[in-house]
Structure 1
Amino acid sequence: YNVLSYRACATSAMRDSSNGADIVRYISERSGINIEIINGLEEARIVYDSHIVDELEQEGDFIYVDVGGGSTEISIISDRSLLQSQSYNIGTVRILNKKLSRSELFRMYRDLKRLKETYRHISIIGSGGNINKLHHLAGVSAREPLTVERLLTLRNELNSYSIVERIDRFALKPDRADVIIPAADIYLQIATHIGAREIWVPTIGIVDGIIYSLCSDYLKEKEN
């Protein structure tokens, strides 16, 4: 495909793997692709590089929440500027495998409490395949937020079916049907602790951020 440049990133699962470096070397030897194991803050920065704030039609205070299998990244955006980011080892696969640390959960709760005290009116921007799918299943239009009330109703409806039934009834892929419930739970917990009533879902994520940064670097090189 005449690729000019690329960036391959590994996130939470590889960060925590004792043999992460071995996996990187194995893939590099067989494919020529070099993978970067990035930390949570770099992951959050890349997502912000997706220009996600450009999708918002209003000013204000937001927390950008990216829920993955192994971690959740939360970034503070105020008046379209990124103020800070934090990463937590709280993810859908960790929850399913009962590997979630209570101390890590309480650390996130404490941070969210401080945010609520600082920002009285704050909304959530959600990223990732799970919230994108939940937004779609809720029947919300692309430019409308998913209300926390509607998310809770949808979560309970999904939870009333087995994984096999979810795959059939909601046309979910097998690797989505199991993690979609803990993903909804994470968003609901975050919304509760900061007092948010809605989640904006612009369907932009880390891949988009990587693409934006690669294109930006390419255009700068051409200018020089």
Structure 2
Amino acid sequence: MRFAAIDIGSNAVRMLFCDVYPYQNDYVIKKTSLVRLPIRLGEDVFIHKVISDTNIRKLAEAATAFKNLVQVYDAVDFRVCATSAMREAENGQEVIKVIKQHAGIQVDIIDGETEAELLYQTHVAEKIDKDGTFLYMDVGGGSSEFTLFCKNEKVKSKSFRIGTIRLKNDLVQEETWNDMKKWLKKIREEYRPTMIIATGGNINKLYKLCGLKDYKPFEYEELKQMNKFIEKYSVEERVEKLGLKPDRADVITHAAKIYLTAMKSVDVKELFVPKVGLADGIIYELYQKHVLESIQKEIL
């Protein structure tokens, strides 16, 4: 079966198409196409409080293109989710109506907790000790999401308005940083997580730049040194010499700062980087929904 997903984030829009195959008592997911569109809603919303007419038009056109691709790819189901920027936009509901009218697609605005749950459905914990205690962390353009898991059960979750676009535009107050550090230190004292599971486009790119692969742990010092290395270059040089996309080059060091701060606050020396994102979680959710529906039909 083929499924499709859109993640409308603060820094970009991602379209993902996957084939899902049953395998023994589990399933295998193969990505067939991933398209990343540089539609940066965060700079509209976090500065001006609304999504601009230009980006509304781009979103509507992107949604139309996505719907056409769903038909061409013969996807059996799809879902579109929007996160921080759309949540905070004063005209967010109006934008959703425009997309619905233009492309006939429903956009679901999800909160940070739902976002974490979708990502957790990718079974990232199964690649480490799922009976342990670990902190899931996702850094986006508008916010950083944290979810604590103990023995494969969600215990606590918290969202902080500290994201790469906000930092780039100097929109994060010191008080917000202190609140995040205080919460994380309390997590450290009460639960002693052994690892942070880190997701987000920037940490995936930092992981790759360090030459890491095959789920090798990303150590604190490795991330710190890579961040220092990137900071030596201008944004233009990061594009030319490091091969970063322009809308990645100007935020990647801000992301590194957030991850490093979290690691220090929790006193964790390693990140586990599964290289999955919200769109992957949506695909897993859609597949599980269809499996459940098939079982129910067989019972009836």
TM superposition score category, shorter chain reference: over 0.9
1:60 Cα deviation after fit? 2.2
2:276 corresponds in structure 1 to 204
Greater shift, 45-54 or 183-192, is seen at 45-54
Contact 1:51/1:209 (<8 A) preserved: no
CA distances 1:189-224 after superposition (whole Å, capped 9, x unpaired):
001111110111011121111111100111111122
Root mean square deviation of aligned Cα: 1.4
Give the counterpart letter for 1:95 in structure 2: L
2-side partners of 1:41 and 1:70: how far apart? 15
**Who is 2:88 aligned against?**
16
Q: Which amino acid aligns with 2:216?
A: E
Distance in 1, matches of 2:108 and 2:199, equals: 21
The residue number in structure 1 matching 2:219 is: 147
> d(CA) in 2 for partners of 1:120 and 1:33?
43
User: If you compute each CA radius of gyration, which structure gives the higher value, 1 or 2?
Assistant: 2
Q: Please give the per-residue CA displacement for 1:105-138, whole angstroms capped at 9, x wherever unaligned.
A: 2221111010110133521111011001101111
**Secondary structure at the residue paired with 1:18?**
coil
Structure 2: gaps spanning 5 or more residues: 1-70
Match of 2:27 in 1: none
Determine the C-alpha separation between the residues in 2 that align with 1:59 and 1:140: 25
Letter in 1 for 2:277: G
Higher RCO (CA 8 Å, separation ≥ 6 residues): 1
Task: Name the stretch that deviates more: 106-115 or 51-60.
Answer: 51-60
1:54 equivalent to 2:94? Answer: no
Of 214-223 and 149-158, deviating more is 214-223
Alignment of 1:84-95 (within 5 A): 84-95=156-167
Contact 2:164 2:251 (8 Å CA) reproduced: yes
- State the TM-score, normalizing by the size of structure 1: 0.95
Normalized per residue, the structure richer in strand is 2
Number of the residue aligned with 2:234: 162
Distance 1:24 1:121 in 2: 39
Match of 1:138, as an amino acid?
A: C
Matched, 1:117 2:117: no
- Determine if the alignment matches structure 1 residue 128 to structure 2 residue 200: yes
Residue 55 of structure 1, CA deviation: 2.1
Letter in 1 for 2:199: S
C-alpha distance 121-50 of structure 1, shift in aligned 2 (>3 A): closer
Q: CA deviation at 1:87?
A: 1.1
Query: What is the TM-score of this pair, normalised by structure 2?
Result: 0.72
Percent of pairs with identical residues: 38
1:71 paired residue among 143, 150, 168: 143
Q: Give the distance between the partners of 2:203 and 2:101, measured in 1 at CA.
A: 35
Residue from 253, 256, 259 that aligns with 1:187? 259
How far has the Cα of 1:103 moved from its partner? 2.8
Q: Give the match's secondary structure for 1:6.
A: strand
In the aligned structure 2, how far is the partner of 1:140 from the partner of 1:57?
A: 20
Structure 2 partner of 1:217:
289
CA contact (8 A) 1:50 1:206 kept: no
Report SS of the residue matched to 1:82. strand
Paired residue type of 1:217? K
Structure 1, unaligned stretches of length 5 or more? none
Q: Which amino acid aligns with 1:157?
A: F
